[in-house]
Structure 1
Amino acid sequence: MRKIFTLALLSCAGSALADAAPVLVDVPALVHASQAQVEQTLGAAEFCRKSRHGLACRYAAYGVEVVFAKDKAEQIIINDPGELPYDKSAIARLGFKGQEPEVATDEVMTWQTIPGIAELSLFPDHDKIDYALVVVTPPPGRK
C-alpha cells in the first residue's frame, strides 16, 4: 500500500511539473545586463534609438524593448506577451517567483517588493496582459 501511495505522489508531482508553463521572457536575466548580454538572451536588436532615458532597443521576442543607461538594462517592456492572462500568477511566466502584488485593480497590477526591481507593472487588455513594464533599481553606487 505504501508503494502505491508513493507512486501516486510521484505521479502527481511529475504531472504538475509537466503542466508548469514555460517562462516567456527571463526578465531577471536582463536586469542590469549589458546590451551584449541582452542580445545573447534575446537575439540581435531589430533597432535601437536614443530616448530621454538612454538607448532603447527593440527585440523581436515578444516585442521586448530594453532601455539601457550607461550600458545597463534599467527598463524592460514586454509589448507582446501573447495570450498571458491578466492574473497575478503571470509574473512566473516572466521569470519571477509568485507573490501578491501591492496594487491590484482592473487597470494595473504592481509589485514593488521584488529584489532588484523598483517596480513591475502589468497592464490589461480585457482579460489578457497588454504589456508589462519593469523598472530596475539602479545598480549599487548609482542613483
Structure 2
Amino acid sequence: MSAFIKYPIAVLALFSMVMTVDAKNIQQNPTTEQPPAGVLFDIPKLAGKTQAEVEVLLGEPVFCAKSESALNCSFQEDEIEIVFIDGKADWITVNGTFRSPAYSQKVEGKTKAEALALLGDPAFCVKEQSALHCSFKDGDVSVSVEFIDGKVSETTVKGSLANAPYSKETLVMLGLPVKDTSFSNEHVMRWDNIPGLLSVMLHSEGKTVSVATIKVKTK
C-alpha cells in the first residue's frame, strides 16, 4: 500500500519539476518580436539607444566623426546616419540616395569603358553640358554615375527609402504609427505628435522621399 502511494507522489513531483523547467525556459527564451510587415527601418528600436546597441541592429559603422558634444556615425554604406548625443542616438537620418564608400572605391576615377566592365551596361544615360550621367543596376542596387572628362567623378546609390511615396503612409516603413502631419507642403512633411520622438520629417523628391530625419527626445 505504501509503495502504491509513493509511486503517484513521485510522478506528481516529476511532473511539477518538468513544468517548472519549462516555465523558466519560456521566461528566459521569449518569442522574438518580429517587426511589422513593410518596415524598412525600425526607428523606435534605434531611437535613444547607445552606439553598442545600434551596432547590434545595424552592424559596424562605415565611419564615425567625433565633435565636442556629439558623435556622428554612418551605417550601412551611408544609408543611415546617426548623431549620438550624451551617448544616445538623438538624430537619425535615412537617406534616399547617398554616396557609397564601396562604390566610390570601386569605380571613381575609372573611364566609362572600365565602369561598364564593372557595372555592366547602363539602364540609361543623360548628357548635361560637360557631364554624362548614367544609371546602372547592380543586382538589387541602383547606382548613378557622373562622368566628367570621360572619367567617373561621382557615384551615388539609391537606397531602400528612395522608392517610398511622399506620403504619411511611409511612416509605416520607419516602424512608426501613421498620423496626420503637424506641417506639410510639397517639399516637407513634419510630425510633432509621435510618441517618444520630438519630430519626424520627410523630404520629397518629386513624388518620392529623398530623406527622412528623426529627432529623438533627449535631455
> Does the 8 A contact of 1:32 with 1:74 survive in 2?
yes
Shift of 1:97: 1.0
- State how 1:1-143 maps to structure 2 within 5 Å: 22-51=38-67, 54-60=70-76, 63-80=79-96, 81-138=161-218, 142=219
Q: TM-score under structure 1 normalisation?
A: 0.78
Counterpart of 1:123, as a letter, is: H
SS in structure 2 at match of 1:113: coil
SS in structure 2 at match of 1:124: strand
> Does the 8 A contact of 2:62 with 2:78 survive in 1?
no
The separation in 1 between residues aligned to 2:185 and 2:69, in whole angstroms, is 28
RMSD: 1.7
The match for 1:8 is none
Determine which structure has more spread, i.e. the larger CA radius of gyration.
2
The CA deviation string for residues 34-71 of structure 1, in whole angstroms up to 9 with x for no partner, is 00111111111010012465101000167000000111
Shift of 1:22: 1.7
Displacement over 3 Å in runs of 4+ = none
Q: TM-score under structure 2 normalisation?
A: 0.52
The separation in 2 between residues aligned to 1:94 and 1:61, in whole angstroms, is 18
Shift of 1:21: 5.0
> CA 1:107–1:30 in structure 2 vs 1: closer, same or farther (change >3 Å)?
same
In the alignment of these two chains, the number of paired residues is 120
SS in structure 2 at match of 1:92: helix
> Does the 8 A contact of 1:42 with 1:61 survive in 2?
no
The unaligned stretches of length 5 or more in structure 1 are 1-19
> CA 1:61–1:94 in structure 2 vs 1: closer, same or farther (change >3 Å)?
farther
SS in structure 1 at match of 2:55: helix
User: % of aligned pairs identical?
Assistant: 32
- The structure with higher relative contact order (CA 8 Å, sep 6+) is 1
> Does the 8 A contact of 2:62 with 2:77 survive in 1?
no
The separation in 1 between residues aligned to 2:188 and 2:67, in whole angstroms, is 25
